[in-house]
Amino acid sequence: MYIYPDIVEGFHCELCGTCCRNDWQVTLDEASYERNRQYFSRVNNLQEMEQAFVVMTHNQAIGEYAYIRKQESGACWFLSGNNLCRLHKKAGHQHLDAVCQTFPRYPMNTQRGIEVTLSFSCPAVLRRIQRLEPLRIVRSEKPPVEFLPENYVASVFPGQQAKFTPLYYYFELEHHFIDIVQCRGLSIAGRLELLEKTVRKLEAGKPGETFGQWLQQQIYQNYAYMDSLTEQNLSLAEVLVEHFFVNFLFKKPLYLYGLIPAVALLVHMWQEIETMQRGKGEKDRISATQAAINNLELEYGHDRQRLLVWMAKR
């Protein structure tokens, strides 16, 4: 089973080259480094291999062995003037590192199937979410896009959690949390307030064999409250934030990093977005919101070390 937000369907790279010009460091593991070394040796171009790939000697994370050098312009070493990758063109897709093979796709191996979404730091993805219609979560027996099955970003198996804890019921909670974030009877701030109130109540918990029943009661109470609200007319800027938060939740940060820290990050990101929106007209608010979403995705979606440090402080 494949599970994904509907924006994933039919996605394809638009060859804008933005991801190849970002300031992140593209790393690869030792096996990928060796595979490329063998390729450059076969084509008698080890000199470029030594220029392009830099073996890391310190500060590397698990699985990181080398990184790809950048051009003076800041672009990836292999990016050509027509926004095509020279390494991909000459050596093939298999010679790219895992990030380049996958981005902006975000595949996850989970207990209920393969789940995949997209990174909102990609301009093509940001254009796909410029709509007032809520994001839908789709379930299908066919993959929505091509991606390498071994390149999973996360593994999520709630059945391995203790039975009388919230994370054991994670998928039910994720569905409910997305419904809260898409509750258009509340402002964005109101939705986050309800979300934070809910996770704090869940963390306080009611231990024992009746935990599942107690949890369902809390969820039903929230739905009864949300159903009593009148849907508001939202601006596109507000809906863009809604889409961003739905996608954030779908990436499973509440499971991976904890309910309260992840919701605290949502609140922090909303504060950042509000700051960039302040004092602007509708058209400028849309542009400011897109810029804020892009920055936040780069900051917390791609820099895992920064994300872990932020979570640890909570």
More confident residue, 255 or 150: 255
Report the alpha-carbon angle 145-170-148, nearest 5.
Answer: 25
Q: What is the pLDDT of residue 147?
A: 67
pLDDT at residue 184 is higher than 80? yes
Q: What is the pTM of this model?
A: 0.87
Confidence of residue 302 (pLDDT cuts 50, 70, 90): low
- Burial class (CB within 10 angstroms; exposed 0-12, middle 13-18, buried 19+) of 38: exposed
Residue in 256, 246, 299 with CA at minimum distance from that of residue 121: 299
10-24, 26-40, 208-222, 264-278: segment of lowest average pLDDT = 10-24
Residues facing residue 70 across a β-bridge? 76
pLDDT at residue 133 is higher than 70? yes
Average pLDDT over residues 84-112: 83
- Tell me the C-alpha to C-alpha distance, in Å, between residue 275 and each of 5, 96, 235, 272, 278: 28, 38, 17, 5, 5
pLDDT at residue 301 is higher than 80? no
Long-range contacts of range 289-296, CB-CB < 8 Å, 24 or more positions apart? 289/237, 289/240, 289/241, 290/126, 290/240, 293/120, 293/126, 293/240, 293/241, 293/244, 294/120, 294/121, 294/126, 296/244, 296/269, 296/272
pLDDT in tens, 162-181: 888 899 999 999 999 999 99
Q: What is the pLDDT of residue 134?
A: 96
Token pair 């960039």 in the structure block, residue: 276
Q: What are phi and psi of 275, to 5 degrees?
A: -60, -40
10-14, 21-25, 219-223: segment of lowest average pLDDT = 21-25
End-to-end CA distance of the chain: 35
Give domain limits for the chain.
Answer: 2-13+103-155, 27-96, 156-312
Confidence of residue 30 (pLDDT cuts 50, 70, 90): confident
More confident residue, 84 or 150: 84
Q: What is the pLDDT of residue 59?
A: 65
Cis peptide bond prior to 104, omega within 30° of 0: yes
Average pLDDT over residues 246-254: 95
Cα(260)–Cα(308) distance, rounded to whole angstroms? 14
Cα(156)–Cα(106) distance, rounded to whole angstroms? 13
Q: What is the pLDDT of residue 149?
A: 61
Instruction: Report CA 178 to chain centroid distance, whole Å.
Output: 14
Q: What does pLDDT average to over the chain?
A: 88
Residues facing residue 45 across a β-bridge? none
Average pLDDT over residues 219-240: 95
Q: Which residues contact 302 (CB under 8 A, 6 or more apart)?
A: 24, 119, 121
More confident residue, 61 or 37: 37
Q: Which residues contact 200 (CB under 8 A, 6 or more apart)?
A: 260
Contact 6, 135 (CB under 8 A): yes
